Amino acid sequence: MTAQLIDGNALSRQLRQQVRERTTALKERGLTPGLAVVLVGDNPASQVYVRNKVKACEEVGFHSVLERYDATLTEAELLARIEALNQDPAIHGILVQLPLPAHIDDKKVIEAISPAKDVDGFHVASAGALLVGEAGFKACTPYGCMKMLESIGLKDLRGKHAVVIGRSNIVGKPMALMLLAANATVTVCHSGTADLAAMTRQADIVVAAVGKRNVLTADMVKPGAVVIDVGMNRNAEGKLCGDVDFEGVREVAGWITPVPGGVGPMTITMLLVNTLEAAERLRP
């Protein structure tokens, strides 16, 4: 068996076209979705990420604002700027790029964003809404993973066992909540879980989101399982790779996401979807 690829690039293009069409319809009613991206400091990876987010906004017809600040910006100054964006009617979504400089409390900044504009899906109100099944914003990377599962016919996961390797608030926990909402049985692990392989070999779906190469190998995968690789690492040759031993696991799994070209493109796409939905809630 050789696994079928879940093509994140192709699915992303499809979803962005839908966003573009819905944005055009909103503009005809006099409303342009607006996203503000705030970058503090000069982290090279963060600069690439925010540039790609702003470019994606432009491609689908959004109004976008990129605010760059020196790493010396105080926490109070950043919180004041967020409050101003909360009050700006032209801005429907606010994203503060993480990580922030050490002197700024990430959690305090995230919680300062209005839940109505929390298009990154990190606010406690967004997590709470997800937990009780109410309308809110889903964290972009897990949301993208769920869309990938839907694309291969797995929307209602009743009777499926999913294992999430990675317990972070950014991916692991929101991913587990979304899988639970889709009626899956969910086990959350991490790279140090005792006998991790015993857990993953039972799973119909494995989501690897640790940030560690080869955390999931072929002998750890149930034949025919769906494997979603959220990791972003570099191998010994410097090439991008995920958390999964792709070449080995693809010979056992039924479906697998590649790195690059899998989950990565979907993260920004779901940010666009969230921003559009924030604007649509205000449509005239």
Tens of pLDDT along 197-217? 999 999 999 999 999 999 999
User: 283 pLDDT band (50/70/90 cuts)?
Assistant: low
**Active-site annotation holds for 97:** yes
Tens of pLDDT along 30-63? 999 999 999 999 988 888 889 999 999 999 999 9
> Catalytic pick from 118, 120, 204, 243?
120
Fold of the domain built from segment(s) 140-264: Rossmann fold (3.40.50)
Judged against a pLDDT cut of 70, whether residue 277 lies above it is answered with yes
Comparing 31-115 with 140-264, is the CATH topology the same? yes
Confirm whether residue 166 is marked as ligand binding.
Answer: yes
Residue 188: strand, helix, or coil: strand
Q: Which residues are CB-contacts of 273 (< 8 A; sequence separation ≥ 6)? A: 15, 19, 143
pLDDT, average across residues 172-183: 92
What is the Cα–Cα distance from 261 to 9, expressed in whole angstroms? 6
Q: Please report, for the chain, the start and end positions of each structural domain, with discontinuous segments joined by +.
A: 31-115, 140-264
Tens of pLDDT along 241-272? 999 999 999 999 999 999 999 999 999 999 99
Tens of pLDDT along 68-85? 999 999 999 999 999 999
**Active-site annotation holds for 18:** no
Q: Which of 144, 103, 110 is nearest to 8 (CA)?
A: 144
pLDDT, average across residues 174-181: 92
Residue 94: strand, helix, or coil: strand
31-115 maps to which CATH number?
3.40.50.10860
**Active-site annotation holds for 222:** no
Q: Which H or E run includes 22?
A: helix 8-28
> Catalytic pick from 97, 117, 160, 229?
97
What is the Cα–Cα distance from 149 to 181, expressed in whole angstroms? 13
Confirm whether residue 168 is marked as ligand binding.
Answer: yes
Q: Which residues are CB-contacts of 239 (< 8 A; sequence separation ≥ 6)? A: none
